[in-house]
Amino acid sequence: MPLRSINPATSAVIAEYPEHGQEEIGQRIANAAATFQTWRRKPVAERAALLISLADTLRSGREQHARLMALEMGKPISQGLAEIDKCADTCDYYARNAERLLAPRGVTTEASASKITFEPLGVVLAIMPWNFPFWQVIRCAATALVAGNTVLLKHASNVTGCARALESVFKQSGFPSGAFSILQVSSSQMEMIIAQPAIQAVTFTGSTPAGSAVAAVAGRHLKKTVLELGGSDAYIVLDDAELPLAAEVCALSRLINSGQSCVAAKRFIVVEQAHTEFTRLFIDAMKKAKPGDPLDSTTTLGPLARLDLRDQLQLQVDRTIEQGAKLLLGGCIPAGPGAYYPPTVLDGVRLGMTAFDEETFGPVAAIVPVKDESEAIRLANTSPFGLGAAVFTRDIARGERIARMELEAGNVFVNTQVRSDPRLPFGGIKQSGYGRELAEFGLMEFSNIKTLYVK
């Protein structure tokens, strides 16, 4: 079966790509393993210099790459341009800092010399999703490569064009053959590929069930894993919050990438004193979204990536309404072609309702009214997920206390939306996964932290 890319705005088939056969898969794995033996011995500064070239190549093709994302998975082109810029900026960050971050660290002991060094592991298999087709790849590949590993990418089948474009970008930037290459395969091949002795680590971003399956296979073969999985991020709006700011930020976080982000805001937990005014302002902010052709620079809300994903989202909305929530905005599949879904607001959502208990991957917001701060924190943490969270309050000390001490998540922001940054570690806890990407900690995930002791 070929891998098929379908335009979610029109349902037209863009392209079909043949799957790699067993011989091609074996050859690519062997090439990555052979390249590792020379790549790992290059000075960090030399590897980092190629990241500067990679950043330049990405920037020079940013319009082409953004257009490809719009066509393959419906990302509004303005957001696609921003995604490419973030990829390039991340490459620049590691080009400037990798040599310092990976430098050996001396430790005073009874030995004549003792130090900690950071050595690469080998071939890293990256299994990546469709929602940020360039960013998800670059944020793991940049760290793995500059640390001295080589990378094999298994991208989501519906963005195979993006995978091929990325492979071309690395080649154009001067990376040696085998340093970064793709596997055009279906998910059914993953167990066999992970089991290959040359694969030393696996990084996966995607749904919690799929991540659990990958971890189970990797665990059987004792392969290091990093998992960035689903999320049902809670944004707490306290009684002293600046409500116009909170409403705008919450709407932006819910609608970014058409709501298709693991770290997007999904549950809006609002204390009763702020509930009426916040809800009014929030609905006004959600209404500002402009659905349309993702290739139109004025579009801010594109289609969902696939029709089946839209159907699943509608089912979640319907179930939540049946369970007693109030529909305040949207909630119905629009007429016409494509996988479009409107900005949707559900109020009166409670624990036990579908929109509270499950991740909603689309522009659907669940407002959860609560009595006070204590109940807000309790409900925010009453979730199997722990990727991101945010709290809105004019009292910065109060916000920092709640963010640091109370909320169970890998990333907690105060008075702004949760987002990744190459200078800061990114990852989750509970069923949102484990391990960290970005910053110094992303480099360490795919390094052998080696102790040297010389007597």
Catalytic residues: 228, 262
Burial class (CB in 10 A: 0-12, 13-18, 19+), 59: middle
CB 53 within 8 A of CB 91: no
DSSP letter for each residue of 245-308: HHHHHHHHHHHGGGG--TTSEEEEEEEHHHHHHHHHHHHHHHHT--BS-TTSTT--B---S-HH
Query: What are the residues whose beta carbons fall under 8 Å from the beta carbon of 270, sequence distance 6 or more?
Result: 236, 237, 278, 279, 367, 368, 369, 370, 376
DSSP letter for each residue of 325-351: PEEEE--SPPSSSSS----EEEES--T
CB 77 within 8 A of CB 304: no
Kind of pairing between the strands at 411-414 and 388-392: parallel
Backbone dihedral angles phi then psi of residue 237, each to the nearest 5 degrees: -110, 110
Q: State how far Cα 256 lies from the chain centre.
A: 12
Among residues 127, 106, 109, 126, the alpha carbon closest in space to that of 117 is found at 106
For residues 147 and 122, give the distance between their C-alpha atoms in angstroms, rounded to a whole number: 10
For residues 263 and 250, give the distance between their C-alpha atoms in angstroms, rounded to a whole number: 12
Which amino acid is located at 206 in the chain?
G
Residue 392, helix vs strand vs coil: strand
**In this structure, what token pair is assigned to residue 298?**
């004025």
